[in-house]
Structure 1
Amino acid sequence: MGFEWEEIRRRGVDIVVALDVSDSMLVGDTEAGGSLSRLERAKREISDLLALLEGDRIGLVAFAGTAFLECPLTLDYGAAEIFLDSLEPDLIPVKGTALAQAIRTSVEAFEESSSTSKAIVLMTDGEDHLGQAVAAAEEAAAAGIRIFTIGIGREEGSPIPDPGGGFRRDARGEIILSRLDEPTLQRIALATGGRYVRSVTGDVDLEQVYSLGIKATMQDQDLGTTRQRRWKERFQWLVGAAIVLLLVEASIAERRSLNRAPHLAEEIGS
């Protein structure tokens, strides 16, 4: 066995996934009985998305009360999976859900991109505590970026787990409910020509967004080239060499036999 380097040309779309890691994403209301938190469900869907990508570059932004680029645009889906696994609420100490900051940080992630096909996938429970999310979406639209929003959770709301036990309460001692704000997410998607999808049990939400939204409406662009090993069977070289050696050996043996024949004749004659 051996290998040779093969140059692979990549064509696709630049995609930044902005994932809400605020405390409200700890609410367990995405499965019957609350067996999965909103954050766990979102991470599973992003992992499924990585398996669907076809030459597209992917980046990851985590946000709560502020936002950070965790994984720059890359074709290395394995590396993106590693960054995804590390996204937890304690990653960002600033509490809250700053949707506008998440959108602007995602837009900045495209600064090194020459592609004209750019998409942001915003996954959140939609509680925009600081406002300005729609204004940030309009800025993204002006830069030629579409935003596809995925709402996770329930409109009726669910209590937020407290690390010390029980549920979080406000200053009056009442349990704080985290509700899905679908109208905000719908306006964000509408402002950029994107699409809003509600994440519910059993749906393949990101597959719909990727296949029917991003890939169906955006043109693939050249995203550079990568090199990969191409393994080749090389046993035939060994077989060929062995055959040559056998032929050479046979030829030498034949010559020795011919050289010895006259001497044998003389010995017999004497």
Structure 2
Amino acid sequence: MNIQFQYPDLLWLLLAVPVFGLLYFFNLYRRKKAIQRIGNPALIKELYKTHSSAKAAIKFAFFTIAFALGCIALANPRKPEEGLQQVRKGIDIMVALDVSNSMLAADLQPNRLQQAKEVIDQLIQKSGDDRIGLVLFAGTAFIQMPLTYDHNAAQLFTAGASPSVIRSQGTAIGDALEKCENAFDQQSERFKAIVLISDGETHDESALRKAKNLADKGIMINTIGVGSPAGATILDTATNTAKRDASGNIIVSKLNEELLQQIADVTNGAYIHLTNPSQTVGQLTAQLSQIQKKALGDATQFIYKTYYLWLALPMLLLMLAEIFTPDRKKLAL
């Protein structure tokens, strides 16, 4: 692997080098014009009898080279030790989990949300070298966990998902898909997939439009429908009774399979109706296994050999040389 920089943005400081050069030559030009205005050769010779243009140029060169070496050293050139690179092959999977109140409906036991979390937990266990990320959504969406190889952390974040994490209620599928897209590494060549787990109970008109946009970018969306088309009541955890609307009618939450099917279809993904977590994960992993897997070096596992001192030491020597190099001539006694 070639040498890389840990902080490449600091290399922009090198743009100061040509600026220093322009200032140096502009100063020489001004001095020359000033000398011409004096016009008295004897006076000029007396004024500049101890000045050495060659030594001044050498001092400037020492300073400029030292500055350039310092900039490169700050960017920390490095490369992984041979044989210690850990290369993983897999895909990037963003899981979008619906945590709206409707996911507390009990047409799956103990409720839809718990069954959905069991699916994610089993998916993580079978993900191998895949990177996993998590987006939670209800009326709005946010990235709960960015893409990571740390599957234990992914399971912990999943376990803590609940309707209480988002105050705004609803099912903002379009926003969730956008957050998933933002979480992907746009520079990575690994295949990108989204697993959307929801009851689909939404009037979000942007959902299908966003799915088509992701399809154009080569991102597959696999959807998992949670619940039943017939619907079920939602438990009000405060009163331990069925939730009611403002008019006092019992709320019945129904699975919207049509929307979830459409989202999957436009991205060449699969729609799966969750009835059994193990069976659902089996179907999902079979779908994902068809995807081309690309290698990605896991930088978190690298041990680097750095070249900072190879630049810092010459920089220090050049700075000392610049300080102790006089810009005056030695006059004969």
TM-score (norm 2): 0.63
* Structure of higher CA gyration radius: 2
Q: Does 1:76 align with 2:150?
A: yes
Superposition deviation, residue 102 in structure 1: 0.9
Q: Which has the higher helix share?
A: 2
State the alpha-carbon separation in 1 of the partners of residues 270 and 95 from structure 2: 14
Percent of residue pairs identical: 42
Q: Does 1:206 align with 2:281?
A: yes
1:136-164 per-position Cα deviation (integer Å, ceiling 9, x unaligned): 10011111100000001010010111133
Aligned residue number for residue 53 of structure 2: none
Q: Does 1:162 align with 2:236?
A: yes
* Inter-CA distance 80–153: structure 2 relative to 1 (3 Å threshold): same
Q: Does 1:128 align with 2:202?
A: yes
Aligned residue number for residue 263 of structure 2: 188
Match of 1:23, as an amino acid?
N
State the alpha-carbon separation in 2 of the partners of residues 179 and 18 from structure 1: 19
Paired residues for 1:87-236 under 5 Å: 87-165=161-239, 166-201=241-276, 203-210=278-285, 212-216=286-290, 218-225=291-298, 227=301
RMSD over aligned Cα atoms: 1.8
State the alpha-carbon separation in 2 of the partners of residues 191 and 91 from structure 1: 30
Aligned residue number for residue 257 of structure 1: none
State the alpha-carbon separation in 1 of the partners of residues 186 and 89 from structure 2: 16
1:13 paired residue among 91, 99, 109: 91
* Inter-CA distance 143–51: structure 2 relative to 1 (3 Å threshold): same
Preserved contact between residue 30 and residue 201 of structure 1 (Cα < 8 Å): no
Superposition deviation, residue 6 in structure 1: 4.8
Q: Which has the higher strand share?
A: 1
- The number of aligned residues is 219
1:231-257 per-position Cα deviation (integer Å, ceiling 9, x unaligned): xxxxxxxxxxxxxxxxxxxxxxxxxxx
Preserved contact between residue 98 and residue 131 of structure 1 (Cα < 8 Å): no
Superposition deviation, residue 19 in structure 1: 0.3
Q: Which runs of 5+ in 1 are unaligned?
A: 229-270
